[in-house]
Amino acid sequence: MSNKERVLLIGVGLIGGSVALAIKKEHNAIIIGYDVKLDNCQLAKKLQIIDDYTENLQEEALNADLIILACPVEKAEAFLEVLANLPLKRDVIISDVGSTKGRILEKAERSFNKEVAFIGGHPMAGSHKAGPGSARAHLFENAFYILTPSRNVKTEKIEKLKNWLRGTKANFITMDSSEHDLVTAVVSHFPHIVAASLVRQVENHASKNEHVNFLAAGGFRDITRIASSSPEMWRDIVRHNQSMLLSLLDEWMIEMNDVRHLIRDGDSDLIHDYFFGAKKYRDSLPVRAKGAIAAFYDLYVDILDRPGVISDITTILFQENISITNIRIIEAREDVYGVLRISFQTEQDLEKARKSLQDRGYDTYISM
């Protein structure tokens, strides 16, 4: 066996794949994937996100220097128990990328002996997309990456984990798991519940009025993009952060009741002040280039393997004055629609590009 360091990635999806790409950028380690979906491992290997994959998790875990759990959080919790029963390497570092931390840390601290370094991790950036096909090395650039070390973990191990993850170019912050679960419930978990419930409300109306679907435009799409996220992931998050979410839901009902009174009373100044207060706070939030508000406007274009085709496409976009942020050829043709992925900064650019390319005879697809 080669003497390179080995990384075991459990869950080869959007976030695991993005972490793996960031590690690859900076380390000459061997990354081995394990996933319940063999297809995801095969695609990740074709895209060179992982070096190889295994169907024997236990055997690979014994040789790993770094183990990263990147599956839905309830599965991650179960894997901790599996890992705790194995004679892992003495210096191994185990981390995860899950959106909740309380139950994960509780399980890790109960299961592992003091020698094993478990350091919870949560990159605060992502997407509504899933799977390794959407993974990006730069996904976490400038985003916060929260670390929740378990008790007894030495500072040098935390520094070592940060070094493993330096290719993410994220800003690391450390906090304890209960603070993590409170803050993320407020800014991430609860908003996902609101988005899903808004979509369900519109769907109810759509069954009664045929115009609803066509007219569900700008604002509705902005506020509900995240409702397209993975249901498996959100099922697990909601179950893990249940009590926090129930108390936020109680607060929300009080807020909605206040809004109800505001609308019923119809006082123009008070209604204005309600929107004004929200706008003032929203506008004061720090603007970051990336992070929790990540831009993901990708277009896939079917191209034939002939010289000049990419320059033809970029010329069309140039003539239309559309800026692109990234362009990449995807070689795993059978797994995606279209082999050229072009990323844009805004939905408007994406739509404009799609129309221009279609007008010139190219087949395009928006999601994978």
Ligand X SMILES: O=C(O)C(=O)C[C@]1(C(=O)O)C=C[C@@H](O)C=C1
Ligand Y SMILES: NC(=O)c1ccc[n+]([C@@H]2O[C@H](COP(=O)([O-])OP(=O)(O)OC[C@H]3O[C@@H](n4cnc5c(N)ncnc54)[C@H](O)[C@@H]3O)[C@@H](O)[C@H]2O)c1
Q: Which residues bind ligand Y (CB under 6 A)?
A: 10-16, 35-37, 40, 70-73, 75, 97-99, 122-123, 126-127, 130-131, 230, 233, 237
Closest alpha carbon to 9 in 47, 72, 60, 85? 60
Per-residue binding string, ligand X, 173-212, x by CB under 6 A, is: ---------------x------------------------
* Residue pair 66/5 in contact by the 8 Å Cβ criterion: yes
Q: Which does 188 bind (CB under 5 to 8 A by kind): ligand X, ligand Y, none?
A: ligand X
CB of 114 to ligand Y, least distance (A): 26
Classify residue 322 as exposed, middle or buried by CB count within 10 Å of its CB (0-12, 13-18, 19+): buried
The answer to whether 226 contacts ligand X (rule: CB under 6 A) is yes
CB of 168 to ligand X, least distance (A): 13
* Residue pair 95/121 in contact by the 8 Å Cβ criterion: yes
CB of 151 to ligand X, least distance (A): 23
* Residue pair 340/330 in contact by the 8 Å Cβ criterion: yes
Q: For residues 25 and 23, what is the distance between their CA atoms, to the nearest angstrom? A: 5
3-state secondary structure of 199: helix
Tokens 């990419």 belong to which residue? 310
Q: Which stretch binds ligand X (CB under 6 A): 52-60, 120-128, 245-253, 317-325?
A: 120-128
Nearer to ligand Y, 83 or 353 (CB): 83
Total number of residues shown for the chain: 368
* Residue pair 95/76 in contact by the 8 Å Cβ criterion: no
CB of 16 to ligand Y, least distance (A): 6
3-state secondary structure of 105: helix
Q: Which stretch binds ligand X (CB under 6 A): 125-133, 149-157, 248-256, 261-269?
A: 125-133
Q: Which does 68 bind (CB under 5 to 8 A by kind): ligand Y, ligand X, none?
A: none
* Residue pair 44/50 in contact by the 8 Å Cβ criterion: yes
What H or E segment, with its residue span, contains residue 342?
strand 340-344
Nearer to ligand X, 121 or 338 (CB): 121
Long-range contacts of 345-349 (CB under 8 A, 24+ apart): 345/295, 345/297, 346/295, 346/297, 347/221, 347/297, 349/297, 349/322, 349/323, 349/324
Nearer to ligand X, 128 or 240 (CB): 128
Q: Which does 226 bind (CB under 5 to 8 A by kind): ligand X, ligand Y, none?
A: ligand X
Q: Which stretch binds ligand X (CB under 6 A): 67-75, 119-127, 155-163, 205-213?
A: 119-127
Q: Which two tokens stand for residue 249?
A: 């839901």
- Note the Cα 72 to chain centre separation in Å: 11
Nearer to ligand Y, 196 or 322 (CB): 196
Q: Which does 292 bind (CB under 5 to 8 A by kind): ligand Y, ligand X, none?
A: ligand X
CB of 14 to ligand Y, least distance (A): 4
Q: For residues 312 and 327, what is the distance between their CA atoms, to the nearest angstrom? A: 13
DSSP 299: E
The single residue among 24, 128, 157, 180 that binds ligand X, judged by CB under 6 A, is 128
- Note the Cα 263 to chain centre separation in Å: 37
The answer to whether 63 contacts ligand X (rule: CB under 6 A) is no
The answer to whether 238 contacts ligand X (rule: CB under 6 A) is no
CB of 226 to ligand X, least distance (A): 5
Q: Which does 322 bind (CB under 5 to 8 A by kind): ligand Y, ligand X, none?
A: none
Q: For residues 136 and 195, what is the distance between their CA atoms, to the nearest angstrom? A: 25
The single residue among 40, 95, 99, 150 that binds ligand X, judged by CB under 6 A, is 99
Q: Which does 10 bind (CB under 5 to 8 A by kind): ligand Y, ligand X, none?
A: ligand Y
- Complete DSSP assignment for 49-81: SSSEE-S-HHHHHHH-SEEEE-S-HHHHHHHHH
Interface positions, 252-291, toward ligand X (CB under 6 A): none
The answer to whether 294 contacts ligand X (rule: CB under 6 A) is yes
Q: Which stretch binds ligand X (CB under 6 A): 103-111, 123-131, 208-216, 327-335?
A: 123-131
Contact footprint for ligand X (CB under 6 A): 99, 124-128, 188, 226, 229, 292, 294
